[in-house]
Homo-oligomer: A and B are copies of this chain.
Amino acid sequence: MYKRCQMKKKHTKNRHHNSTKKITSVDVARLAGVSQSTVSRAFGTGNELTEETKKKVLKAAMELKYRPNAIARSLTSQNTNIVGIVMANAKSPFYSKTLDEFTIKLQKLGKQTLLFSVEKGRDIDEILSHVLEYRVDGLVITSATISSEMAEECANIGTPVILFNRYATGTNVSAVCCDNVKGGRDVADYLLDRGYTQLAYIGGNPKSSTNIDRLKGFQERLQERGFSDLLIRNDEYSYESGYRIAKELILEGKKPEVIFCASDIVALGAMDAAKHEFNLKTPEEIAIVGFDDIEMASWPTYSLTTIQQPIEEMTEFAIDLLESKIKKMNTKCELKLFPGKLIKRGSA
């Protein structure tokens, strides 16, 4: 009964569109004169198989252009070899570099990247729900954070989650970050050491942990060294935002000697505003410091002094951590902080 049905179906298909025939391990088995199990074993690792039969199977597979079905495999093996990555802002230099690093490194481990984009104002939980339907082996969230309910749900179904470049207190979710507080402090020290006294801070998204910590470290250290008046403005992580805020500050007659921007892209905006709106020279008339060390920061036109985030080590670590969680070797909730490095260039 089954066989007849099967054949009828195939026949219909073939008549309809000659070429579209799906080759399965059963077809290979038939051609090679072995069982389907054997074909499966020939494509796995560490299976007991005679060299001879293996060769026979692979030859048949080649002949039919057989390609194992990863979807079917995932169903039985209970792991997809897919890692979900959730990003907002995937087109910004820092995050696109991060994504690239993740993708390449995962690929080398035989894993694939399922990418999700969170648009501003969209509900991340809804997106996460979709991610989880695909039974990803693990999840990296680089933008936006995760609600505690969703975190718990991930934990329940056994999907490890790692936050990258942000963390969420009280959610029991591991995170890999740059030490933003220390970065802020280092900038404060550097600027005070160079004799600046009129300081400003232009932040990004005021609710993000990155922004909070960078400001916190900066402000804290300034106060420790006796400087308490700091001009603070927040908005969002973008060139336009940096440009606009810097312009406003200067127009309001509050031109500082130096602005510490919460990210390079904001810093570039601020620098351009100073230069093109007021013809101010950097660093003589207004100094700028950024955070991230994106590629553009090193271009001579900007030569931006900044805190470098060690993206490669961070992604490397994040993947290792995720792997160990996937293998259930590590179930602790960790917050790993990487120290940033002050890169001194011309802008301050």
Residues of chain A at the chain B interface (Cβ within 8 Å):
17, 19-20, 22-23, 65, 67-72, 74-75, 80, 82, 90-93, 96-97, 99-100, 103-104, 107, 112-117, 119, 127, 129-130, 132-135, 153, 155-158, 239, 268, 272, 275-276, 295-296, 299-302, 328
Contacts and interface: CB of A to CB of B under 8 A. Distances in A.
A103 B80 contact: no
A100 B104 contact: no
Nearest to A273: B300
A310 to B, nearest CB: 16
B69 A133 contact: yes
Given A114-B114, A153-B65, A239 B133 contact: no
Contacts of A68: 133
A19 B155 contact: yes
Nearest to A268: B299
Contacts of A127: 107
A96 B89 CA distance: 10
Contacts of A239: 295, 299
Given A71-B134, A295-B239, A115 B91 contact: no
A268 B103 CA distance: 27
Given A71-B74, A103-B90, A157-B22, A114 B112 contact: yes
A117 B134 CA distance: 21
A128 to B, nearest CB: 10
Contacts of A90: 96, 99-100, 103
A20 B96 contact: no
B20 A157 contact: yes
Contacts of A107: 116-117, 127
A67 B129 contact: yes
Nearest to A133: B70
A39 to B, nearest CB: 15
A112 to B, nearest CB: 6
A118 to B, nearest CB: 9
Nearest to A277: B300
A96 B96 CA distance: 6
> Considering the complex of A and B, which 10 residue pairs feature the smallest CB-CB distances, nearest first?
A96-B96, A276-B300, A70-B133, A103-B117, A91-B100, A20-B158, A113-B115, A91-B96, A91-B97, A90-B100
Contacts of A82: 114, 134
10 contacts: A65-B153, A67-B129, A69-B135, A71-B134, A90-B99, A91-B96, A112-B134, A114-B115, A275-B301, A301-B302
A133 B68 CA distance: 6
Given A23-B157, A71-B134, A91-B100, 18 more contacts: A67-B133, A69-B135, A70-B134, A70-B135, A71-B71, A71-B74, A72-B75, A75-B75, A90-B100, A90-B103, A91-B97, A96-B96, A96-B99, A112-B116, A114-B114, A115-B115, A301-B301, A301-B302
